[in-house]
Amino acid sequence: MAMHYLVEKGTEYAKLAVELDKKGEYEKAIKYYKTAIELFSKYLSLYPDNSLADFYKDLIARYKLRIEILEKHMEKASVPGGSAAESAKDDVEVLMPDKRTNKKKFDDLVDLEEVKKALKRAVVYPVKTPQLYPLGWPRGILLFGPPGCGKTEISIALANEINAALINVSPATIMSKWLGEAEKNVAKVFDKAREIASSGTPVIIFIDEVDGLFQEYSDEVGGEKRMRNQFLMEMDGLKEKVNNNLPLFVIGATNKPWKLDIGFIRRFEKRVYVPPPDKEVRKSLFKYYIDKLSNVYKADELDLDKLAEMTEGYSSADIASIVKEVQNNIAEELNEKSDGKNTPTVERKLTMDDFIQVINRRKPSISPKIIEAYKIWYDQHGAL
């Protein structure tokens, strides 16, 4: 009885929240979203193993994000002279090549050779030799794979590789900044991108966590549906003859490709798997980061093969964090031994124990089960 009551009342309040949201009554909508979250959370605490638990967890996450967006919007509107219309007039943020602090190119990245090859075919070569592509080239590239394996990093490296302007789009910014006029501002992003590309400068529109904008929903809140339809129309427009030679690309990154709407998937001609590092790559990553430490600490007795073996299932970001944590531990140790001196003078070698202790405390972030899920999705939708 309690289970049905919690679900029914939670659903009732959620529907009220969505209706008020659509009408622009945001303060009341927030109140009902919070009540729905409270009821669904109570349900999950009482029945954590119910078959619908994951469904309600997703609902809670969506409603929390919507509350955050609405609260930010209301805060902006409360500022004298502030309004949704004014925030919609904000300029599109464009990061030109000379303004980026991250200057890394493909050769500066340790791994992802197959991904680099796919991006060269899809983006780099068409930009460098457009005359060889009378039929045009791919406009949309989807990068998918486990978190922390380099999707964002390689996208920035790609932008540097072709000296492209970079326009970064995320679910949080697009829905909070552009609340109420989402579809107009999606058009504004593409208008700006076409303007820059028409001058001869390549442009990359990068959408991180793209599943947050284009996953399949049973219902819609606010202007999400109009925004997504506008985005799909804009992507279709890139294939028209007038835009055929523009060096303009849309790159989406996601950890959850199976949540994407099929219509969105079709707009991305290239769908590239960004895998976790294998043993040899993990070894190279350890060498890369340890070499940076070797200017301060001696590191001539480390077994990199063993470290690579011990970190099966660890992402590239995990390995960077492991080496940084080793650095922090040793720095703390030397500071404590320095008797308050500003510059510790105690010499210290890096040892295997330093790394093993950190690895034992840090579990791998990538499971075999999730890797299998990516392989299944790639078999169905992959396109290099």
Buried b (16+ CB within 10 A) or exposed e, 182-194: bbebbbbbbebbb
Longest CA span, the chain: 72
CA angle in degrees (0–180, nearest 5) for 223-228-229: 100
| Residue 87 pLDDT level (bands cut at 50, 70, 90) | very low
Helix (H, G, I), strand (E, B) or coil at 31: helix
Tens of pLDDT along 195-212? 999 999 999 999 988 887
Of the candidate ranges 72-81, 84-93, 116-125, 317-326, the one whose mean pLDDT is the lowest: 84-93
Residue 206 CA to residue 154 CA, distance in Å, equals 11
Residue 284 CA to residue 289 CA, distance in Å, equals 9
* Assigned token pair, 357: 């202790």
Residue of 264, 197, 254, 255 whose CA lies nearest to 224? 264
pLDDT of residue 204: 97
pTM of the predicted model as reported, rounded to 2 decimal places: 0.73
| Residue 119 pLDDT level (bands cut at 50, 70, 90) | very high
Buried b (16+ CB within 10 A) or exposed e, 1-23: eeeeebbebbeebbebbbebbee
Domains of the chain are 1-76 (1.20.58.80), 94-276 (3.40.50.300), 279-365 (1.10.8.60)
What is the rounded end-to-end Cα distance, in angstroms, of the chain? 52
Task: Please check whether residue 143 is in contact with residue 204, taking contact to mean a CB–CB distance below 8 angstroms.
Answer: no
Percent of the chain with pLDDT over 70: 86
Region class of 340: left (phi > 0), else alpha (psi between -120 and 50), else beta: left
Residue of 248, 253, 216, 245 whose CA lies nearest to 234? 248
> For 152-173, what is the mean pLDDT?
88
Q: What does the mean pLDDT of the chain come to? A: 85
DSSP state of 140: E
Residue 186 CA to residue 178 CA, distance in Å, equals 9
| Residue 215 pLDDT level (bands cut at 50, 70, 90) | low
Tens of pLDDT along 315-374? 999 999 999 999 999 988 888 877 666 666 667 889 999 999 999 999 898 999 999 999
Residue 51 CA to residue 63 CA, distance in Å, equals 20
Amino acid at position 77, single letter: A
**Cα–Cα distances in angstroms (integers) from residue 339 to residues 52, 253, 330, 333, 345, in the given order:** 58, 49, 15, 11, 10
> For 292-297, what is the mean pLDDT?
86
Helix (H, G, I), strand (E, B) or coil at 169: strand
